[in-house]
């Protein structure tokens, strides 16, 4: 759950910084607004790398730039 909250917080922060509404991000990234809102509201357990990459494209950043935060760098993934 912590990872979901970090991804959601990163998207919210980037939208705030870019003065971009969720609807605008949805349009620019070609990610349906319902999918985007499920990610932001932490209703999606694992949004998938391709969805995150599309969101990054909507922001005009790389996946590395998206993940390059102190909080996200500290995540340790446990094998399932």
Neighbour tally for 59: CB within 10 Å = 19
State the CB neighbour count (10 A cutoff) for residue 29.
19
Query: How many distinct structural domains can be found in the chain?
Result: 1
Look up the CATH number of the domain holding residue 42: 1.10.260.40
Q: Tell me if 77 is assigned to some domain.
A: no
pLDDT of residue 73: 76
pLDDT for 7 beyond 80:
yes
Whether pLDDT at 1 is above 70? no
Full domain range(s) for residue 53: 2-72
Confirm whether 19 is domain-assigned. yes
pLDDT per residue over 24-80, tens digit each?
A: 999 999 999 999 999 999 999 889 999 999 999 999 999 999 999 888 877 766 666
Does residue 2 register a pLDDT over 70? yes
Q: Which residue pairs, CB below 8 angstroms and at least 24 apart, start in 39-48?
A: 39/4, 39/7, 39/8, 39/11, 40/8, 40/11, 40/12, 41/8, 42/1, 42/4, 42/5, 42/8, 44/4, 45/4, 47/7
pTM here?
0.88
């Amino acid at each position: 759950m912590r990872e979901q909250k970090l991804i959601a917080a990163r998207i919210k922060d980037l939208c705030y910084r870019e003065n971009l509404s969720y609807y605008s991000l949805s349009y620019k990234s070609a990610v349906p607004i319902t999918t985007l809102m499920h990610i932001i509201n932490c209703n999606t357990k694992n949004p998938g790398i391709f969805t995150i990459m599309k969101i990054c494209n909507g922001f005009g950043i790389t996946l590395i730039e998206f993940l390059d935060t102190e909080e996200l760098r500290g995540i340790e993934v446990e094998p399932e």
